[in-house]
Every structure is written in C-alpha cells, then in structure tokens.
Chains A and B, each alone.
Chain A
Amino acid sequence: MLKIHKVSKALSNVRILDEVSLDVKKASIFGLAGPSGSGKSTLLRCIQKLETPDSGSIDYSCRVCFMFQDFQLFPHMTVLQNLVYAPTLKDKANAKEHIDKAKMMLKNLGIESKINDYPRTLSGGQKQRVALARSLMINPDVLLCDEPTSGLDVSTIMDVVSLLKSVNNIGVTIVIASHDLDFLTKISDRIVLLKNGKIAIDIIPSQTPNSVETLKGFY
C-alpha cells in the first residue's frame, strides 16, 4: 500500500530521518511512536509530499490526507465550511451529501453543537476533532494523523478511537504519530518507534505482552 524505502531527510543540516524503511499494509492501523523531536511529523510530512526526502523513495498510488499536529483549520470559515469546502469543490452536485456526512461525523465526535462556530472559539481538543473530520471528508485511502489525541480527555479519546476504527473498517489505512502509548497500543496493528532518526523497535501489540512497557523503555 505504502512503501517507504531508505528515506533520509535533513533539516537545517541536522539529519532527522536516517534511512527509514517501512511497509504499511492496506487497511491496517500503523502507529509511529518516539520521543519528541524524533522525526515522526517529518516522516508524515514526507509521505504527504510536504517535504521532499533527501534520498530514498516513498511509493503509493492512492489518495493520502494529512491531519496536522497544529490543525491548520481555516480561521475565516465555520466548522461546517472547513469540512465541506474541499469535497464540495470537487463534487458540486453532491453538496447536500457532503453536509450530511460532515454533520454525522461531527456528531460522532461529540461536537455537533459547534457546527456553525469559527475555529478561534473552539478549545484545542475541539479543533483537533474538527481537523480529523476535515481530513476524512475527502475520502482518503490513507489517513496520516499527527498527534490526534493530544489535549483530549479519556472519553473524547474513545470517540476518536471509534471513529478511526470505523473508517479503518471500511478499508482506510491509517498512520498515527502519537506520544500516547496506551492509545497507540490499543488502536494499532503495528507500532514502530523512531529514535535518533532510525527505527528503534518494531512491534505487533497483539503479539507483544507489555507493549506499553516495552515502548516506554526507549524513551
């Protein structure tokens, strides 16, 4: 589905990624762990082609959508407009369906009351859920989530988990970068931990007893 082969990337002459190779299976949920600054966001940005790797290759032939760590909602649009703008641009005939879909998604994430609000009036966790919903609106085959749970409480994390699981069930491949090891372990089929630009450990949570403890050992 998504093949990353020996990707290296330096930013301001500091090597952030050092020949990272990964193979993400179709319809799986792939977790990226690692200390702050280990290059998780950089790797996701390379996959989305927001950054060009210095060497190596990233191969896929499907629609990828990236959810930003700092959301990047459009401040001059309401929550609903943020969600439906891009899909409506592509497919004007189904404007009504996009609105219904957006409403449904906001409801599932518990923020339907914010539908006509502007991003600046939302809390961090609310913005995060809007950002997640917005990325899903364009029906990506691969969803790249950068810290989808930072700033969320236990119950909203459960909402995010069930939304991600439900889109995963209809075949969407998901790559998640996160610090939240409990969340990652609960949701991922496979977890890779990045450290100093390299893959430090690669585990399958369902087959690894004490996955969280094992991962913690690398921090």
Chain B
Amino acid sequence: MSNTLPALLFVGSGVALTLELLIGGIAVGVLLGTSLAILRYMYKGICGNCIGRIVSVIRGTPLILQLSIVYFITPVLLDCKLSILATGIIAFGINSSAYVSEILRAGVESLPKGQFEAAKTLEITSCYMWKDIILPQVFVNIFPAFINEIVSLLKETALISVIGGMDIMRKSQIIAAEHYEYFTPLCLAGAYYYGLVILIEYIGQKIEKRKFYAKNS
C-alpha cells in the first residue's frame, strides 16, 4: 500500500495527455464534422453520397486501425514524423468528425424545413443562415448526444498507449509492470477516467440547464 500515493501521482500525470488528446480531437471533430454535415445537407447528389461513404467507412473501421494508419503511413506520405500528440489529435479528430457529422445531420434533418425557407424568404445568405439560424438551434437540440460523443472519445483516447503515448492508461501499465501489481494501478486509471466522465457530464448538465428557449417555436 505504501506505493499507492506515488502511483496515484504518476498515473495522474497522464491526465494531461489524455485531456490534450480529448480537447484537440473534439476541436478537430467539431470543425470537420460540422463542415461535412453542412456539405452533405447542401449537396445531396454525388458530393453528398461521397461524404456519406467516407463517414460510413470511418465509422465502420476500428479506431486502432485508423490510429495506426495515421501513425505509420502519414510519415511515409508526408515525409515527416508526427509527434504522438499530433498523431492522436488527427486520428481521434477524424474519427470523431464522422460521429459528430452524423449527430449534426440528424439534428439538421429534424429542424422544420420552414426555418430554412424563412431564412431564404428574408434573403439571408447561406453562410449566415447556417451560422446564425440553423446551427445555433441544432447545437442546442443535439447537445446531449454531443456530450455522449465527448465521453466516448475520452475513453477511446486510451488507445494512444498502443503507439506509446504517456496517458493515464499507459502510465498505469508502467507502474503495474514495475511492481508486478496490477490491481491498484488499473483501478486508479479507472477512477481517473470515471472522474473525468463525471466532470464532463456535470459541466454538460450545467450548460444544458441554461438553455433559454424551448426546442420548438
């Protein structure tokens, strides 16, 4: 038991990388996912189908495979070595963008068509329509699903340990291997992850309570 405190601190120092991956991944995921969802809504033809297929492939292949592709193949293609953090943010961001775009698409499809028509009637250009009329409403409606996506991405960042990222997971494995004792470090890692999940859900609920208008007009 004398090892518990150092283990707690050591595993805890992995929270930094885990959070960096999460925040970076979500940022890329939201930007890319929103663009994909908008493009897919606006161009229902070939372009939309292509995006749909890409999203489907990303959702239909293992994240660990995508991470490996980014880690092993981009250095060959781009002729430069990416850091573990950059690799993680790119892979998790692209993966997350597929899920975010699906969530957003459902949100956009569920808005009354009249909202688009009203914007058109008032001669609001497409860019402002999305920015000020459609997306603000959609973001409120999909907020709970979005929090779920953040939580699942948080858990998936643990995969960074397979390419050597020193996150919560990896650090707990290191401690475990040093002391030939697995129970405490793995439980600690679990506690850190779960603590972060609780925190995210708490913040999510706080924001949701501040919603200041109903979903329908």
Interface residues in chain A, defined as those with a beta carbon under 8 Å from any beta carbon in chain B: 48, 50, 63, 65-66, 68, 70-76, 85-86, 89-90, 118-120, 127, 134-135, 138
Contacts and interface: CB of A to CB of B under 8 A. Distances in A.
A159 to B, nearest CB: 22
Q: Which of B124, B212, B213 has the most chain A CB atoms closer than 10 A to its own CB? A: B213
B: interface residue count bin: 20 to 34
Interface in B74-124: 112, 114-115, 117-118, 120-124
13 contacts: A65-B122, A68-B117, A70-B114, A72-B217, A74-B115, A74-B137, A75-B215, A75-B216, A85-B122, A119-B217, A135-B122, A138-B122, A138-B123
A76 B137 contact: yes
Nearest to A65: B121
Chain A: interface secondary structure?
loop
B213 A120 contact: yes
A74 B133 contact: yes
Contacts of A65: 121-122
Contacts of A74: 115, 118, 133, 137, 217
B6 to A, nearest CB: 51
Contacts of A135: 121-122
Contacts of A127: 217
B132 A85 contact: yes
Given A63-B123, A65-B122, A68-B118, 15 more contacts: A50-B117, A71-B217, A72-B118, A73-B118, A73-B217, A74-B217, A75-B213, A75-B214, A76-B136, A76-B137, A85-B122, A89-B128, A118-B213, A120-B213, A127-B217
B140 interface: yes
